[in-house]
Chains A and B, each alone.
Chain A
Amino acid sequence: MPLSRNKLYILLTVSCIVGYIWIFINYTILINNSSNDIGVCIIKHVTNIPCPSCGSTRSILSILKGNLSESLYWNPIGMILLLIIIIVPIWIAFDYFFHKDSLLRFYKKSEKVLRQKKVAIPAILFILANWIWNIYKGL
């Protein structure tokens, strides 16, 4: 069975809620100035090498503090994630109230675009470059 509208929307909603809770927890830790050693990354725990998206929490926290360049330094993926986490709930609410499936159609279309070689290869290169940068920074 292909990914249905409701299944995708529930999945996205749950991930956004988890994302907001995660940011909230880390933000309170940041304000209280206690040491932040919550890490959930399996790769980092197992191999001690940061994964491509390590540092995105710190990146989002930097944006919340208003420090854009620091956020870029931590991890550019954090910015993408913050954009997604802001836009997706609004989009889902729009689709829900107007009984549409524009997000599902957008999701399927972007999946198709991502599978094209001219998009996939730069994307993979970006992730790899970011990963190498992460290891170099020693996040």
Chain B
Amino acid sequence: MDAQKVDMFIMTNGKYFESHQVAQIRDSLINLDNSKWSVIQTLQFKDPTISLIVSLLAGTLGIDRFMIGDTGLGVGKLLTCGGLGVWAVIDWFLIMGATREKNMEKLQQLLV
């Protein structure tokens, strides 16, 4: 794909991924077929900052985990009062990374 298009994608969506993944994403996007550009361009990613806010406000109910698609973990958090309150606090620090991982998974499904 066009390097210019790829750089544009990285510029707009770079914040949704872990920094160490960005170089790899750039490489695989450049090698990608041009026909997939329209699909890649319209992909919606979850914002890590939003999930952090949700985690801070409603982490005990597991809403943050539901939001990024970890339904099982969300149910676990909901039923155990946020893992006796401990898991909810741990997730304040993990949720941003988890969201970025989920975004990467979503993109990788298209790249393969």
Contact = CB atoms under 8 A, between A and B. Distances in A.
Nearest to A41: B81
A54 interface: yes
A39 to B, nearest CB: 9
21 contacts: A1-B101, A3-B70, A15-B83, A18-B84, A19-B80, A40-B81, A40-B84, A40-B85, A41-B81, A41-B82, A42-B88, A43-B81, A51-B61, A52-B61, A52-B78, A56-B79, A56-B80, A56-B81, A81-B79, A84-B79, A115-B71
B84 A110 contact: no
B33 interface: no
A24 B70 CA distance: 30
Contacts of B89: 42
Contact of A41 (B71, B76, B85, B105): B85
Contacts of A108: 72
B60 interface: yes
Interface in A110-136: 110-111, 114-115, 127
Contacts of A1: 101, 105
Contacts, number: 57
Interface of B is mostly: helix
A80 interface: yes
Interface of B: 60-61, 70-72, 75-76, 78-86, 88-89, 101, 105
Contact of A110 (B61, B72, B81, B83): B72
Contact of B80 (A3, A53, A110): A53
Interface string A43-82: 1000000011110100000000000000000000100110
Contacts of B83: 15, 18
